[in-house]
Structure 1
């Protein structure tokens, strides 16, 4: 064995732990475990581990006593629009250059008032020519009549044949026809000149103007919109059963944003709209100046519903299966109150409250708010919301 191998073996023997080091490590490990056990013993209570033996405080919930009724009266509201009875889009029957527009949007006009005119210089020149043709035809007719008289006298004297008389009379009739044709042509031009101006067909207000002076107006092109202001009517859609209760000729109150107006029922169509499933009722508004055309009007009518049940706030309902809903009742149990679910059916809702029916007795306490904090069987402390509101208000 070489000297190098001896040196390496001595180094390995020096790195191995001796019996003393192992004993020291074992003693330290036992001391650590003992310290941990002693600490755990000190942390323990002399009476053993503490366990909760008292129940938590009941949760305070707002409630309202159920008030059962055998029927209720439903106040229903139906909406419609107050519109002018007549609205016209006014334009020229023939095209031409616009010479004048005498009104603007918002102007009040009277029946027969001239609203706009076309340039009619060309038409008037044609009318003058047509009148000259009429005069020429009248002169020819007068000459033809004189010729007939002469031919008749000569025929009596035997100087001309009866055929010559017949020819003269035929020429007179032809001349008369030319007079009538010329007069008809002149009348056509007069009508065109008259149609070259727009007049108000009824009293109303100008609500639209689509062109100005100098523009070329096409035949039938709307230039002005006129809305009748003297008469307003309201068209309101109602269910067929409700519409059958209305009486034509009766006066009803319609509510608008500006107040209440009286309206007389003119007619009920009796035909159900396939889209809205309603029947149209037409009302004549008595005081048309009280509201503007296009305003929303509402008709309120009461209807008796013969269904037993009770009213609850919508927020006190939670969804259930098969189209039912659930209300929670604070039921008395062993001197306290616990949450009990009750399935109910919704009969009607008006937005903030609902009329429901189900296995709830009169006077039972309905939990009306905070459903997200409760579960069935939870202990609760009911607080009457109506009494609390009275105390706070007083």
Structure 2
């Protein structure tokens, strides 16, 4: 009797195992669709600059006497932004003018003497000698007069340059010096920005320069602008290893210097392949990638090459033409050559 019971238990276990082996693993499958190539999307960043941006300064050192415009105010071309104290220059000008008047009087007297000695020189030798002396004196006075004129012209230039004049219309972005301070030669007084003709400088990788058109869409502060290409870059940036390209924004673009700019570059690569979800990829041997193809309710591992990923999908190529479906996810539950049942089919995605 005991032997009969033991035989019945063995037969029952064998039946259960056989039944389990015939069960199919339920999976979600992804439908493959052959594509001629893939589109790659890259974003590059840069900043807004102004065509005219200048740090204005006085050419000569001096005390700041007046400031007519402050930070954030608009200035038109030719308007005086600030002036220096010109009291010493005015005194120097008066001194030079007085010396000039003195020389003029001396020159006038010397010319009178010259005429008198010209008449006397015809009668005696001593008068001829005095005529030579007067003529030389006139030449010296004339030279000194010319030197004074040059000095007066220099003072006039310095007086003119004591006024800081706007070279173009724009907005004063910063004021660096306060009233009453001594402004050194070349020290920045204000930073002037031209509001129109804003530009964008972007670093574009060498591999993407062929994808840059004459007009590109550029985003600044969540607004899109059609920008015109001005320069494709003359050299590669030593830090970012990119070409610094310049684009011109529309005149009415309400942007500010220093704002972040972003441009999306789209390229198409001809490479027959398939878009698959990243969840369908798994590690293969020796650092390769593989997917599980579904055919006749059986799955097989297939090695693939990954060309591009966008964070959600991967574009791959490989021997997938004989497998219209692949396992979409849950790869840790499957293995090659097992029987499966497709309970859900996901549509293919084209990008």
TM-score normalised according to structure 1 size: 0.73
* Residue in 1 that maps onto 2:258: 294
Shift of 1:185: 1.9
Does 2:308 correspond to 1:342? no
- Give deviations 1:217-244, integer Å, cap 9, x for gaps: 2222212111121222233444557545
* Residue in 1 that maps onto 2:121: 155
- Give deviations 1:341-374, integer Å, cap 9, x for gaps: 3221122233432211112226632334444554
Shift of 1:288: 4.4
Does 2:223 correspond to 1:263? no
1:131/1:69 Cα in 2 relative to 1: closer, same or farther (>3 Å)? Answer: same
1:356/1:159 Cα in 2 relative to 1: closer, same or farther (>3 Å)? Answer: same
Shift of 1:140: 2.0
Equivalent pair of 1:65/1:362 in contact (CA under 8 Å): no
Q: SS of the counterpart of 1:189?
A: helix
Equivalent pair of 2:206/2:242 in contact (CA under 8 Å): yes
State how far apart, in whole Å, the 2-side matches of 1:244 and 1:46 are: 78
Equivalent pair of 1:325/1:344 in contact (CA under 8 Å): yes
Equivalent pair of 2:284/2:290 in contact (CA under 8 Å): yes
Which structure: greater strand fraction? 2
Does 2:290 correspond to 1:326? yes
- Give deviations 1:123-151, integer Å, cap 9, x for gaps: 22222222222222222222222222222
Of the three residues 292, 306, 312, the one matched with 2:276 is 312
Of the three residues 73, 93, 115, the one matched with 1:107 is 73
Shift of 1:62: 3.8
State how far apart, in whole Å, the 2-side matches of 1:182 and 1:95 are: 23
* Residue in 2 that maps onto 1:95: 61
1:281/1:361 Cα in 2 relative to 1: closer, same or farther (>3 Å)? Answer: same
1:309/1:162 Cα in 2 relative to 1: closer, same or farther (>3 Å)? Answer: same
Does 2:194 correspond to 1:228? yes
Which structure has more relative contact order (CA 8 Å, sep 6+)? It is: 2
TM-score normalised according to structure 2 size: 0.81
1:313/1:109 Cα in 2 relative to 1: closer, same or farther (>3 Å)? Answer: farther
Answer with 1 or 2: which has the greater Rg. 1
Does 2:318 correspond to 1:366? no
1:45/1:138 Cα in 2 relative to 1: closer, same or farther (>3 Å)? Answer: farther
Q: SS of the counterpart of 1:366?
A: strand
* Residue in 2 that maps onto 1:38: none
Of the three residues 148, 151, 162, the one matched with 1:182 is 148
Equivalent pair of 1:261/1:290 in contact (CA under 8 Å): no
Q: SS of the counterpart of 1:208?
A: strand
Shift of 1:175: 0.7
Does 2:9 correspond to 1:66? no
Report which stretch shifted further, 229-238 or 314-323. 314-323
* Residue in 2 that maps onto 1:205: 171
* Residue in 1 that maps onto 2:345: 384
Equivalent pair of 1:232/1:288 in contact (CA under 8 Å): no
* Residue in 2 that maps onto 1:11: none
Does 2:47 correspond to 1:81? yes
1:288/1:243 Cα in 2 relative to 1: closer, same or farther (>3 Å)? Answer: farther
After superposition, where does 1:24-39 map in structure 2 within 5 Å?
none
Shift of 1:174: 0.8
State how far apart, in whole Å, the 1-side matches of 2:341 and 2:139 are: 113
Shift of 1:214: 2.1
* Residue in 2 that maps onto 1:21: none
Shift of 1:385: 3.4
Shift of 1:88: 1.0
State how far apart, in whole Å, the 1-side matches of 2:79 and 2:150 are: 28
Structure 1 runs not aligned, ≥5 long: 1-40, 388-394
Report which stretch shifted further, 360-369 or 92-101. 360-369
RMSD: 3.4
Shift of 1:117: 1.8
